[in-house]
């Protein structure tokens, strides 16, 4: 166990390892996309490029960059093309490795034009959210994804499948586990390399998380194919992450500073903060390859641009 008083730069938690948890995990950083998509005031494309560059420099990978959605639906990300071009200028081919959201063939065409290599489609476990977020019925969303994913695969892209409303829906209430598993398997059957289970409105609790993962396993979906995407609306994101770790899941979505929310989901607030996750992982001795100080510095810098403090407890504690 390390001494909590040692270490420079930031305070450190004592390290107590647990043999029954994964020894290393991947953090899938969504701050530049999920974190910013709900911001009402337009943020300069250059600031977004700086944010992504800083997150990469902190060791985060993958860093989701933006969305190729209809600009009227998500005005904040209307500069997706300019942003990716700016990143290619700065980072070269490395920028083409950054994943982006794509809902349909039109979005895929835009990503292909730029030579991008990783996309994520985003489906819903419920009818109402498929309608509100994608202007589709529950069944219609698969029909939209099918040609998009087939063409992406033919172009040797990897495709992540997000599934929203896995633990509850603001219009429909509780969502049956069996329905979530069916929808998730649909995305995997369509060719998703990885399935990210979204708690879009942050209502999940730890036992529910374990039950859902177990239900996927019972249907033949191994934990290696799963990622967990928690919003922290009710302060449960870290507890839910620990539940996921106990089940063996090794990919977690998080957003620098805890920004985030979905413009089409009532009551969706910030994502699990990357810094809060890093603090817990450090205490558990789980490797992640990310520099906590650099991420917290980036969130403080971004908070200056957004004009309000970061919602992350760890950022506030480290910068107090």
DSSP 8-state assignment for residue 295: H
Binding mask 197-236 for ligand HMG (x = CB under 6 A): -x-x----------------------------x-x-----
Give the binding range for ligand HMG (CB under 6 A) out of 12-20, 70-78, 287-295, 302-310: 70-78
Q: Which residues pair with 173 in a beta bridge?
A: 169
Q: Which residue is nearest to ligand HMG (CB)?
A: 198
Contact of residue 106 among ligand HMG, Mg ion, none (CB under 5-8 Å per partner type): ligand HMG
Query: CA–CA separation, 139 vs 130, rounded Å?
Result: 9
Of the residues 74, 84, 187, 262, only one is catalytic, namely 262
Closer to Mg ion by CB, 39 or 291: give it.
39
- The distance of Cα 252 from the centroid of its chain, to the nearest Å, equals 7
Determine contact, residues 148/187, Cβ cutoff 8 Å: no
In the complex, the smallest distance separating the C-beta of residue 123 from Mg ion, rounded to whole angstroms, is 13
Q: Is 135 in the site for ligand HMG (CB under 6 A)?
A: yes
Closer to Mg ion by CB, 28 or 138: give it.
28
Q: What is the DSSP string of 48-76?
A: HHHHHHHHHHTT--SB--EE-S-TTTSGG
In the complex, the smallest distance separating the C-beta of residue 265 from ligand HMG, rounded to whole angstroms, is 7
Contact with ligand HMG (CB under 6 A): which of 45, 66, 76, 104?
104
Q: Which residues pair with 251 in a beta bridge?
A: 26
Q: Is 264 in the site for ligand HMG (CB under 6 A)?
A: yes
In order of 195, 220, 227, the CA distances from 213 in angstroms are 11, 11, 10
Non-local CB neighbours of 133 within 8 Å, separated by 6+ positions: 122, 124, 164, 262, 264, 265
Closer to ligand HMG by CB, 111 or 318: give it.
111
DSSP 8-state assignment for residue 34: I
Q: Is 167 in the site for ligand HMG (CB under 6 A)?
A: no
Q: Is 266 in the site for ligand HMG (CB under 6 A)?
A: no
In order of 84, 106, 121, 132, the CA distances from 74 in angstroms are 17, 15, 15, 13
262 counts as catalytic: yes
In the complex, the smallest distance separating the C-beta of residue 66 from ligand HMG, rounded to whole angstroms, is 10
Query: CA–CA separation, 67 vs 86, rounded Å?
Result: 15
Q: Residue 213's closest CA among 183, 243, 238, 174?
A: 243
Binding site for Mg ion (CB under 5 A): 34
State phi, psi for 130 to the nearest 5 degrees: -60, -40
In 199-236, alpha helices (H) = 206-218
Contact of residue 37 among ligand HMG, Mg ion, none (CB under 5-8 Å per partner type): ligand HMG
Give the binding range for ligand HMG (CB under 6 A) out of 8-16, 69-77, 277-285, 300-308: 69-77
Q: Is 149 in the site for ligand HMG (CB under 6 A)?
A: no
Give the binding range for ligand HMG (CB under 6 A) out of 45-53, 100-108, 274-282, 299-307: 100-108
Q: Tell me which residues touch ligand HMG (CB under 6 A).
A: 34, 37, 67-70, 73-74, 101, 103-104, 106-107, 122, 133-135, 162, 164, 198, 200, 229, 231, 262, 264
């Amino acid at each position: 166990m390390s001494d909590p008083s040692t270490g420079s730069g930031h305070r450190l938690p004592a390290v107590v390892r647990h043999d029954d948890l994964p020894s290393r995990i991947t953090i899938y950083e969504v701050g530049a996309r999920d974190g910013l998509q709900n911001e009402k005031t337009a943020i300069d494309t250059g600031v977004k490029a700086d944010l992504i560059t800083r997150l990469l420099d902190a060791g985060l990978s993958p860093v989701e960059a933006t969305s190729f959605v209809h600009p009227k639906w998500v005005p904040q990300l209307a500069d997706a093309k300019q942003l990716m071009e700016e990143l290619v200028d700065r980072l070269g081919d490395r920028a083409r490795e950054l994943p982006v959201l794509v809902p349909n063939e039109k979005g895929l065409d835009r990503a292909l034009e730029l030579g991008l290599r990783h996309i994520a489609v985003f489906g819903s476990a419920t009818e109402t959210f498929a309608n509100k977020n994608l202007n589709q019925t529950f069944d219609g969303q698969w029909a939209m994804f099918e040609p998009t994913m087939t063409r992406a695969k033919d172009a040797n892209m990897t495709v992540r499948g997000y599934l929203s409303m896995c633990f509850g829906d603001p219009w429909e209430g509780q969502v049956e586990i069996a329905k979530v598993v069916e929808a998730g398997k649909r995305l995997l059957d369509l060719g998703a390399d990885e399935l990210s289970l979204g708690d879009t409105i942050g209502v999940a609790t730890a036992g529910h998380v374990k039950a859902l993962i177990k239900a996927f396993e019972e249907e033949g979906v191994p934990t290696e194919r799963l990622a967990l995407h928690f919003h922290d609306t009710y302060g449960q994101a870290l507890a839910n992450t620990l539940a996921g770790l106990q089940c063996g899941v090794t990919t977690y979505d998080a957003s620098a500073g805890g920004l985030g929310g979905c413009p089409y989901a009532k009551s969706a607030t910030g994502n699990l903060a990357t810094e809060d996750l890093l603090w817990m992982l450090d205490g558990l001795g789980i490797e992640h390859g990310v520099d906590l100080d650099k991420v917290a510095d980036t969130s403080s810098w971004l908070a200056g641009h957004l004009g309000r403090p970061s919602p992350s407890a760890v950022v506030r504690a480290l910068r107090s």
